[in-house]
Chain A
Amino acid sequence: MHRPAYMTMDAKTSPGRQDAGQTIAGAVGSPIPHDSAHLHVSGEAIYVDDIPERQDLLHLAVGMSARPHAKIRKMDLSAVRRAPGVVAVMTAADIPGENNCGPVIADDPIFAPGLVQYVGQSVFAVAAETVDQARKAAKLATIEYEDLEAILDPRAALAAGSFVLPSETITRGDSQAALADAKHRLQGSLNVGGQDQFYLEGQIATALPAEDGDLYLYSSTQHPGEVQHLVAAAIGKLSKDVVVECRRMGGAFGGKESQPALIACIAGLMADKTGRACKLRLDRDDDMIMTGKRHDFVIDYDVGFDATGRIEGIEFMFASRCGMSADLSGAINDRTMFHCDNAYYLENVSIVSHRCKTHTVSNTAFRGFGGPQGMFGIEYVVDEIARYLGKDPLEVRKKNFYGVGERDITPYQQKIRDNIIEEIVSAVEKSADYQERRKEIRAFNKESEILRRGIALTPVKFGISFTATHLNQAGALVHVYTDGTVHLNHGGTEMGQGLFTKVAQVVAEELQIDIDRIKIMASDTSKVPNASATAASSGSDINGKAAQAAAAKIKRRLIRFAAKHFAVPKDDIEFINNRVRIGAESISFEDLIKRAWFARISLSATGFYRTPKINYDRSTFSGRPFFYYAYGAAVSEVIIDTLTGENRILRVDILHDCGESLNPAIDMGQIEGGFSQGAGWLTSEELCWNSDGELTTHAPSTYKIPTCSDLPVDFRAKMFEAGRNREPTIYRSKAVGEPPLMLSLSVFHALRDAVASVGGDRCRPQLDAPATPESVLKAVTAMQAEGGSS
């Protein structure tokens, strides 16, 4: 196992700092631990379920639909009401306000209003004195259904024309003509599976009634503002009447972007009804059954290319399982369309995207937000082309890369200004010894009957910004107390990604004070209003800038004050290492603060940031949706067993671009964790539904995320040393939450490479994702049947 570079070298010198000898603790660029690490390891970090409970607390459980699509003919809840400990029961009829928890359009009922549309849909809720009583009572309902025809997968939805949102198209050039003229042409159809977020902390919310009918909520959410608005609407009140707080989540990965609203609305409604504190904590199985996941896709392609493998024309059809409602599927599928080019220039292209309505749980955000499935499509196609032509897939990948200064316009008309894909790919090709190992593996496969190895290098180019332009805004609130310590609030949320630490580093750097002088406060809708979800990898980019702006505002006031007070020019005042140099004098930061307070200078400020330069017209799917792109590449090597399809990842080399990293240790955690999560998506994590529309993999016993031993023995992740964001982002860093997940496509293609070895040169195995042992064996068997055993 390889140690990440930050562990063997000193902290990168921070870009903003001149004086390298004197540094504050926790400066920008230093690999400090997560701010809560000492609390995590001692069990003292407080998650929502750990907050001391009020005496009057009731526990809630949800009664769920047993049918995928049915009218509720009759519902008898008398046994539920009579069950021991039960205090209240609620259905759609009892909602004083809006029966909706949908984030974009109001098509997501809190309680099914007479029509159920997936197995597990919330139909009623019960409040009882203990968790056990509530959960047992929820099972006692008698519901009579009148079954309606259920559409259970995207293919069936396509056939039936069943969609949650209108289909969309992006075209550029003339794909039809290009296909017709191309020397070579391939068509195919792919399946890529969904994925459960499997945050370790399940969905949870606690609602506390406050005076005057107000509610105070603790919610495990990436989007406290949305929870606030939706809960207020559900109880028939206004945003001012509800406060939502979240100090940290036990993982989220997109699964707590829109999904917590349902949980919080139920808790809020019940608290509003009973006047007692109410907590809803989903059991793991219920969580997996009730809440949305990554979309699985059916992808059809038609590609024309020349003898070198360069793509001349391509048509994609994406059809995703959105489930029963729109949720965030619009933006997710848009992002699929924006990423089905990955790092490749597609001159003549048509991309069609269908957002299929199925009678399954409404799918939602998950790290990558549709991007991974888009990339899956194009990477598969490029691999196909290479195999068809009998070339090294890497060669064909390179042939198709976006150019610099030419071939640099995306299908959605954004000009790529920061392309470094060639550089990164060549560097990792070399450091991973790709060519030599590829040769050695081919030799090995000639000798080895049963075990086969494979290798692949895949690139990542990922667009950073919310594609809905208005969401690219953030706010912060910074207080400095008279002892020189700081409270830091911003609209971002902490889900483990280290956002709070990174933003605190920004403020420490700006004010030049040690990071332990800064207390990071919980996300709180009463501190920072209307914040966007912490999503789209944008957390540090936008909240970092907002917090920096707030700190800078205070700093400017302090400078103005000091200039006057000490009668020195403003530019002769400098904040360095917990002190302030004022002309020839130097006083402590704390001292300056005291004097400023005495002089009645405001020591509290808000900061605001809106991402510049982006402008994008969704009606034409063109413009600049992304501020910049993040890049990376990975080489994976795998081994498969052709008797069983069992497989292992043997070695992985990653090179990823974090720009000038705000915290290399935390960013490395995102790279490695993201990769591992992606590898799970493409290998062992399989979601299965039965013919009754029931999810059969709804617990860790049946749904298998990677464990320790799945980490390749030889794992070498590195950051791109020369990384520097060309755009003026916060300290020239780059977003890192999502992009590394897609580095895992190299694992999938290495598996495909290994499978292809069974069929010999030019064989193109059909391999579906996830590549479980079964899926690999199926592909191997098909290769064997094709007759080519090399």
Chain B
Amino acid sequence: MNADRHSQGALPDTICPPDTIRFVLDGELVEIRNPDPTRTVLQYLREDLRKIGTKEGCAEGDCGACTVAIAELDQSDSRLRVRAINSCIQFLPTLDGKELITVENLRRDDGSLHPVQEAMVDYHGSQCGFCTPGFIMSLFALYKNNAEPGRREIDDALAGNLCRCTGYRPIIEAAQEMYGYRVVKDSWLEEPFAANGKCGADEKKKVEVLKSATRSAMLSVDDGKRRFFSPRSVDELASLVETCPDAVILAGGTDVGLWVTKQHRELSTVVYTGNVEQLRELSVTKTHIDIGAAVSLSDAMLPIIEHYPEFEELFLRFASPPIRNAGTLGGNIANGSPIGDSMPALMVVDTTLVLRRGDQAREVSLSDFYLDYQKTVLEPGEFLERILVPLRPSDTQVQCYKVSKRFDQDISAVCGAYSLRRNGAGITDIRIAYGGLATVPKRAVHCEAALTGREWNEDTVRAGIEALDRDFSPITDMRSTAEYRRTICGNLLQRFYLDSSGNASSRVYDYGR
């Protein structure tokens, strides 16, 4: 990185040119003019700055060695909110307006350790140490967001961090014990989460710096080879996407990032939705949970789980917190992977999408959104604006089951979702959708037809299972064989029957917890 493009400590009140990204690192504002838009934060740290604390273990978001924390202004614009993310798949310009916190920032000036670090030393949480900086940053995010995490919350917070050496027991213990250490006064980094914690002087200062880095106009970066636009309003976005229909829309980048790091694809124009005000809105109306397409999975899942507690396990097993912090529900839907996890569940509760092109908006049922492998009804120049998840009708039973080789942070072999309305024993409305069984996530229309109107009993379920054969002809891959997929597709329907008829069929994952 040459010196004139990379200046540290710029005055907070400088007006930031539209081609210059601006973020906070090591407590100072950093400005970079026209950076390479698809350079990852990890490459920037390790290669450009030679800050070597953050590690690369996979470059695809799956190991957590590269975990860093991002602090940004919360909705009130007066407090900081901190989240762990995977720096290996995050593009550098997405840092604009945020603070990047790395493992190097935690050790105190006098050389002593941050409570999170001290606990990891005391409880022998590192062996080879390569995974450790990533764990430290995930633990740091936990420390700042949860006052007294239980085992399940710790498991979840660390679901995106692999450790091959320790077997995790000492790390879990460190997570439990990290709150018991001496902290430096008036340091935001060191204050653990407190439910009604006040905004201290240190935090106020940080808030002010971030405010000064906030921009109102669009960021547009061009390094000569690649362009990056970060519009602020949905109209700006709409006109950009319409005028460059070949641009890659970037939301959380947890799919797109891998195109660059793994497939070495060249993205010549990137349009980032992460700063589009309207797309970041999340609200619950009288009829719907209304989710802007740029709302992170972490945020979007909260109201969904509140209204559909049955989907909690699905969302907790969806990737890992760092991926859910960056990734969006909109990205999951728009990406349209056959194994995307949110779609079957959202299909059976009759989710509607709002699509936008220019100033035209239209609504499409999620069940009708997918045409074929990675093909959707989106027209050139059109994008996904909002996701409307209906509130739960009182008389509906829903369930969703994800089956994968590993409990956490794994891709489904099969994911099945069900919603059932009955009149006495008779089925008045049943919706069934599966991921992992076809080229797209899709409803099991034959099965639904075979069940509707019948009595909800074992015979009916058997008929339903037979009908599923007409809905899907699954394939064999490294996640499972076609045969297994076919079998559990039916068995999951059976499980739904058992669950919905009050039979005890608690899941292995809940047992003993």
Contact = CB atoms under 8 A, between A and B. Distances in A.
B128 A44 contact: no
B129 interface: yes
A413 B407 CA distance: 45
A710 interface: yes
Nearest to A283: B59
B127 A496 contact: yes
Interface in A6-61: 7, 33-34, 36-47, 49-50, 52-53
B103 A700 contact: no
B126 A40 contact: yes
A284 B172 contact: no
Contacts of B404: 704, 773
A707 B409 contact: yes
A253 B57 CA distance: 16
A40 B165 contact: no
The DSSP consensus for interface residues of chain B is loop
A705 B487 contact: no
Given A42-B106, A707-B409, A641 B508 contact: yes
Interface string B94-115: 0000000011101100000100
A136 interface: yes
B62 interface: yes
> Interface SS of chain A: helix, strand, loop or mixed?
loop
Given A1-B172, A41-B121, A773-B405, A705 B164 contact: yes
B181 interface: no
B195 to A, nearest CB: 25
A284 B53 CA distance: 19
B59 to A, nearest CB: 7
Contacts of A688: 478
Interface string A654-666: 0000000000011
B129 to A, nearest CB: 3
A708 B154 contact: yes
Contacts of A131: 47
Contact of A643 (B117, B492, B513): B492
A675 interface: yes
Interface string A424-455: 00000000000000000000000001110000
Interface string A711-746: 101110100000000000000000000000000000
B130 interface: yes
Given A36-B129, A284-B57, A699-B60, A676 B124 contact: no
B406 A710 contact: yes
Contacts of B484: 774, 777-778
A41 B124 contact: no
Given A42-B106, A250-B129, A709 B57 contact: no
Given A41-B126, A43-B53, A708-B154, A200 B60 contact: no
B163 interface: yes
B151 A673 contact: no
Contact of B63 (A200, A647, A674): A200
Contacts of B53: 42-44
Interface in A485-544: 495-498
A1 B173 contact: yes
A497 B166 CA distance: 10
Interface string A283-305: 11100000000000000000000
Nearest to B170: A669
A706 B406 CA distance: 7
A637 B410 CA distance: 24
Given A38-B121, A696-B477, A707 B407 contact: yes
A697 interface: yes
B487 to A, nearest CB: 7
B55 A250 contact: yes
Interface in A241-271: 248-253
B165 A42 contact: no
Contact of A639 (B47, B128, B164, B511): B511
Interface stretch (B131-139, B198-206, B438-446): B131-139
Nearest to A200: B130
A7 B170 CA distance: 11
B172 A708 contact: yes
A686 B479 CA distance: 9
B58 interface: yes
A673 B127 contact: yes
A43 B409 contact: no
A198 interface: yes
Interface string B464-485: 0000000000000111110010
Q: Which has the most chain A C-beta neighbours within 10 Å: B130, B136, B165?
A: B165
Contact of B511 (A136, A451, A697): A451
B127 A498 contact: yes
Contacts of B163: 200
Contact of A711 (B60, B169, B505): B169
Contacts of A46: 52
Interface in A681-707: 684, 686, 688, 696-697, 699-702, 704-707
Given A249-B128, A496-B127, A774-B480, A701 B60 contact: yes
B512 A713 contact: yes
Given A39-B129, A774-B484, A700 B121 contact: no
A711 B508 contact: no
A773 B411 CA distance: 14
Given A38-B121, A707-B409, A284 B59 contact: yes
Interface in B489-505: 491-492, 494-495, 498, 505
A387 interface: no
A49 B42 CA distance: 13
B128 A248 contact: yes
A248 B129 contact: yes
Interface string B253-268: 0000000001010000
Given A33-B124, A201-B57, A201-B130, A704 B406 contact: yes
A202 B59 CA distance: 11
Nearest to B493: A643
A250 B163 CA distance: 10
B171 A669 contact: no
Given A647-B508, A702-B478, A707-B159, A42 B52 contact: no
Contact of B264 (A3, A139, A250): A139
B405 A648 contact: no
> Which residue, A3, A38, A202, has most C-beta atoms of chain B within 10 A?
A38
A590 interface: no
Contact of A699 (B58, B129, B164): B58
A646 B505 CA distance: 13
Contacts of A202: 57
A20 B491 CA distance: 64
Interface in A191-215: 197-202
6 contacts: A43-B136, A200-B128, A676-B166, A696-B477, A704-B410, A773-B403
Given A50-B52, A676-B168, A709-B156, 7 more contacts: A198-B162, A451-B505, A644-B492, A650-B512, A696-B478, A709-B159, A710-B407
Interface of B: 46-47, 50, 52-60, 62-63, 65, 102-104, 106-107, 113, 116-118, 120-133, 136, 151, 154-156, 158-159, 161-173, 262, 264, 401, 403-411, 413, 477-481, 484, 487-488, 491-492, 494-495, 498, 505-509, 511-513
Can you list the 6 inter-chain pairs with the closest CB atoms, starting with the nearest?
A: A43-B53, A496-B128, A250-B130, A40-B129, A676-B167, A496-B127
